[in-house]
């Protein structure tokens, strides 16, 4: 059924409340792969996984409170689609207040900011702002949701992709391994799409086995930039933008190539090892310089 642009563009999503504590932060970090093939007693691991005064949030946790808002997408008037045809195409996260609290209750409110006609599909840009109980902004997310088969409605194509790597060797490369049951761990943070656990659902999506969550790969890319360019200090992290190209299979190693553009801007690209497949492109992290 065609997208009814006048109804869908600007549509509000119902607000969603969310709470977390130290345990939830630590579970998220472990699900994202912190500590795999690393000495678990090092400060770089314990800062995300040990509940003392030094505990810090892995910044990409900022997607978790707002993710539930996407569950209301199918209730938007004028928008009808097969959920098995939905792909997470792009993601932007900005941390609006730092440090991220280790426990909080927040509210996320979203709207459909843009709709682009990509020919074979439609790209919906959903903006979600997460605020604390006193109304202070904490996170801003933009989810780029690609609906296969819903294009061709005559809309704008949208801006061209940016953040291409320069024509030189990367300034840093960080490898982050995953384990075979990585998706089963990561889904405990809230994204329980059966595509990441159930082989029959993976087959419906065109995959021979369950794939890793794109947002888990996203977390590893961000962590690589923090490790390489922020002295492993997550409080220096300001924002990240990525385009998801292909999925990672649990057990593969994510290889993040990074170029320092100056002023705290890092351009990134991620591949998998051993097959050298690009999984994230057109990516940028901004850190405190």
CB contact at 8 A, 123 and 158: yes
What is the pLDDT, as a whole number, of residue 155? Answer: 73
Tens-place pLDDT, residues 99-144 = 999 999 999 999 999 999 888 888 999 999 999 999 999 999 999 9
Residues 83-105 have a mean pLDDT of 92
Identify whether the C-beta of residue 210 lies closer than 8 Å to the C-beta of residue 195.
yes
Give catalytic residue positions. 191, 196, 211, 214
pLDDT digits (tens, 9 = 90+) for 62-74: 999 998 877 888 8
The stretch 4-19 carries a mean pLDDT of 90
Number of neighbours of residue 142 by Cβ within 10 angstroms: 17
Mean pLDDT of the chain: 93
Is it the case that residue 146 has pLDDT exceeding 60? yes
pLDDT at residue 260 greater than cutoff 80: yes
Of the pLDDT bands very low, low, confident and very high (cuts 50, 70, 90), residue 84 is confident
Residue 253 CA from chain centroid, whole number: 17
Residue 164 has pLDDT above 60, yes or no: yes
Residue 1 has pLDDT above 60, yes or no: no
CB 52: neighbour CB atoms within 10 A?
Answer: 8
DSSP 191-214: ---GGGT-HHHHHHTT-SSPPPPH
pTM of the model: 0.95
b/e per residue 1-19 (b: at least 16 CB within 10 A): eebebeebbebebeebebe
Set out the domains of the chain in order of their start, with CATH numbers.
5-148 (3.10.129.10), 172-287 (3.10.129.10)
């Amino acid at each position: 059924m065609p997208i009814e642009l006048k109804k869908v563009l600007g549509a509000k999503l119902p607000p969603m409340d969310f709470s977390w504590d130290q345990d939830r932060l630590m579970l998220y970090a472990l699900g994202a792969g912190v500590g795999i093939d690393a000495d678990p007693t090092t400060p770089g691991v314990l800062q995300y996984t040990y509940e003392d005064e030094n505990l810090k949030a892995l910044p990409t946790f900022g997607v978790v409170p707002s993710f539930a808002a996407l569950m209301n997408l199918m209730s938007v008037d004028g928008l009808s689609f097969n959920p098995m045809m939905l792909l997470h195409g792009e993601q932007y996260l900005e941390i609006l207040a730092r440090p991220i609290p280790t426990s909080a209750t927040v509210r996320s409110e979203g709207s459909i900011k843009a709709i682009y006609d990509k020919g074979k599909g439609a790209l919906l840009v959903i903006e979600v702002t997460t605020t604390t109980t006193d109304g202070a902004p904490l996170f801003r997310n933009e989810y780029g949701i690609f609906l296969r088969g819903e294009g061709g409605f005559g809309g704008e194509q949208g801006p061209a992709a940016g953040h291409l790597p320069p024509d030189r060797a990367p300034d840093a490369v960080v490898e982050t391994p995953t384990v075979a049951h990585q998706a089963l761990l990561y889904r405990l943070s809230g994204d329980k799409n059966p595509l990441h656990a159930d082989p029959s659902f993976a087959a419906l999506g065109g995959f021979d086995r369950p794939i890793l969550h794109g947002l888990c790969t996203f977390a590893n890319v961000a962590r690589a930039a923090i490790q390489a360019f922020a002295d492993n200090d997550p409080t220096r992290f300001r924002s990240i933008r990525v385009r998801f190209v292909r999925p990672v299979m649990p057990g593969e190693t994510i290889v993040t190539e990074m170029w320092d553009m100056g002023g705290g801007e890092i351009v990134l690209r991620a591949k998998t090892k051993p097959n050298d497949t690009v999984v994230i492109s057109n990516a940028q992290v901004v850190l405190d310089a």
